[in-house]
Amino acid sequence: MTAVADAKKICSLLLRRYPEPMLALHFSNPLELLVAVILSAQCTDARVNAVTRALFGKYRTAQDYAQADLTTFEGEIRPTGFYRNKARSVTNCCKAVVERFGGRVPEDLDDLVSLPGVGRKTANMVLGNAFGIPGIAVDTHVLRVSTRLGLAASDDPVFVEQELQRQLPKSRWTAFSNATILHGRDTCTARKPKCGDCVLREVCLWPDKSGIQR
């Protein structure tokens, strides 16, 4: 079976398990998702959602974030961790959105990654989930699951993104990313993966099944 066939089969199995995979982050527009993803670094989505519930009611535009008092904003996002760095990332990012894109989050990958604090993972999450533009967001879960499955053999997120793009239909990129994130959290965890309950067990090339749980 070819790598392309494997990837398509894996994608089909994942989407059978997660028919309409959605990000766990709460948002109602591209700006909210952009801010939420920046805040989610090394933080649980549940905690980010708890913080953004109030944050999104106060800061409604990129201009609002750009003009925010930094000390106040740091306090508002403190529960997400690394709040000083994140506060600068969000405010600087939104200043660039205002100055270079008229206050609207751009719908282009190159434009998005040119913003302060925005990498390819964040950009692809925003494109795929807020704009409906296919993208593969390689976070820690997608990286781990993809290498265990044998879809890619690298710890470089950009390389893994390119490999997955090559093997999967573009129309499935976002759904595959979202489903793989869910699978990485639910089943193919970093420690003690639940291989006995995994819908991908028969197609997985990962040799170490010592962490099997039933």
Catalytic residues: 121, 139
The token pair that represents 170 in the structure block: 């573009």
* Dist CA 17 CA 10 (whole Å): 11
Helices 173-186 and 3-17: angle between axes, nearest 10 degrees: 70
Q: If you ran DSSP here, which 8-state letter would residue 204 be given?
A: -
**Alpha-carbon dihedral sign for residues 63, 67, 68, 71:** positive
Q: Which residue is it, tokens 């807020």? A: 130
Three-state DSSP at 100 gives: helix
Q: Which residue is it, tokens 């959602």? A: 49
Where helices occur in the chain by DSSP H, the ranges are 3-17, 30-39, 45-58, 62-66, 70-77, 83-101, 109-113, 120-126, 140-149, 157-167, 173-186
